[in-house]
């Protein structure tokens, strides 16, 4: 599924996958930046807590955004596919300047949202400039191909990543979350092995990738974003192995980005923070 078409005169909004467990109190830099680009005190943010089974998730995020200071925030209580076809819920997403998808279970999120009116509104809203952020499960579902499961603490192998359809806000990458904390490099590499031209993006907790309409990503937060590029892969054993054997993958490119680093998906190249680039130029 390709991202929705951008109509003439519009610019695609940011997509902001967050690795989960973002700081919500002491230094909510990720949520604050999302709020700022969504309009600050004029922002109109809608929270979608569908991935979570906790009844108070939507209300908790409402309070968090209110404390940061925005114009309006509300959540829509989607618990079934029938809810997703409620015209009121779709209308509220259409009117938002920012949509925030909470964490929980990404397969629950995908099976409830996938192919519904709300899912379509989220896609078209992003195409006309609405910013979409998602944490943990809400991050995974942003890509066309979503990592729905797979083992942590494992070497890459056939079956190491279970894939399912995502929202298709991007078809350039596949996203994993809680990345370093749960040692998910192996399953991200397994996912990239299925289609080496896809970029793999592993996002740590309290870390976000702010991906702009120009397909340039800026890292915000206390952890790192790992980008795996299999575009120049010279060898893969993915087609001739089974679940018992580790994969061989030669020619991979891997970048690890901390706060302030940029990644340009157009040319598949990473850049240090601006201040470090300026210091390099002075040498």
Structure tokens at 124: 């078209």
Given the residues 38, 136, 190, 236, select the one marked as catalytic.
136
Question: Among this protein's residues, is 178 annotated catalytic?
Answer: yes
CATH of domain 15-282: 3.40.50.880
Cα 188 from chain centre: 14
Using CA atoms in the order 40, 90, 22, 12, what is the torsion angle rounded to 10 degrees?
-60
> What pLDDT sits at residue 134?
98
Question: Among this protein's residues, is 131 annotated catalytic?
Answer: no
Residues near 22 by Cβ (< 8 Å), separated by ≥ 6? 28, 30, 31, 135, 205, 206, 207, 208, 221
Residues 132 and 48: beta-carbon distance below 8 Å: no
Integer Cα distance of 182 and 93 in angstroms:
33
Given the residues 22, 158, 205, 218, select the one marked as catalytic.
205
> What pLDDT sits at residue 275?
82
CA atoms within 13 A on the CB side of 16: 31
Handedness of CA 105, 110, 116, 118 (dihedral sign): positive
Give per-residue pLDDT as tens, 43-76.
999 999 999 999 999 999 999 999 999 889 999 9
Q: What parts of the chain have a pLDDT lower than 70? A: 241-244, 277-283
Given the residues 178, 190, 218, 236, select the one marked as catalytic.
178
Question: Among this protein's residues, is 205 annotated catalytic?
Answer: yes
> What pLDDT sits at residue 21?
98
pTM for this one?
A: 0.96
């Amino acid at each position: 599924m390709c991202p929705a078409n951008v109509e003439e005169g519009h610019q695609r909004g940011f997509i902001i996958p967050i690795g989960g467990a973002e700081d919500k109190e002491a230094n909510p830099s990720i949520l604050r930046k999302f709020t700022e680009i969504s309009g600050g005190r004029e922002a109109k943010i809608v929270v979608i807590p569908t991935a979570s089974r906790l009844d108070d998730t939507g209300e908790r995020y409402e309070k968090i955004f209110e404390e940061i200071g925005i114009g309006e925030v509300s959540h829509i209580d989607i618990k079934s596919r029938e809810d997703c076809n409620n015209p009121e819920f779709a209308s509220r997403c259409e009117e938002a300047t920012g949509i925030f998808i909470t964490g929980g279970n990404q397969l629950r999120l995908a099976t409830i949202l996938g192919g519904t009116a709300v899912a379509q509104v989220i896609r078209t809203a992003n195409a006309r400039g609405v910013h979409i952020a998602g944490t943990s499960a809400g991050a995974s579902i942003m890509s066309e191909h979503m990592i729905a499961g797979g083992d942590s603490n494992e070497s890459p192998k056939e079956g190491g990543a279970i894939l399912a359809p995502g929202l298709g806000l991007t078809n350039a990458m596949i996203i994993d979350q809680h990345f370093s904390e749960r040692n998910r490099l192996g399953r991200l590499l397994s996912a990239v092995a299925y289609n080496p031209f896809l970029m793999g993006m592993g996002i740590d907790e309290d870390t976000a990738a702010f991906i702009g309409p120009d397909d340039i990503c800026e890292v915000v937060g206390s952890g790192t974003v790992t980008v795996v590029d299999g575009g120049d892969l010279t060898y893969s054993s993915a087609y001739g192995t089974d679940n018992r054997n580790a994969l061989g993958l030669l020619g991979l490119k891997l970048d690890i980005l901390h706060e302030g680093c940029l990644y340009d998906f157009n040319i598949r190249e990473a850049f240090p923070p601006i201040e470090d680039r300026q210091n390099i130029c002075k040498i």
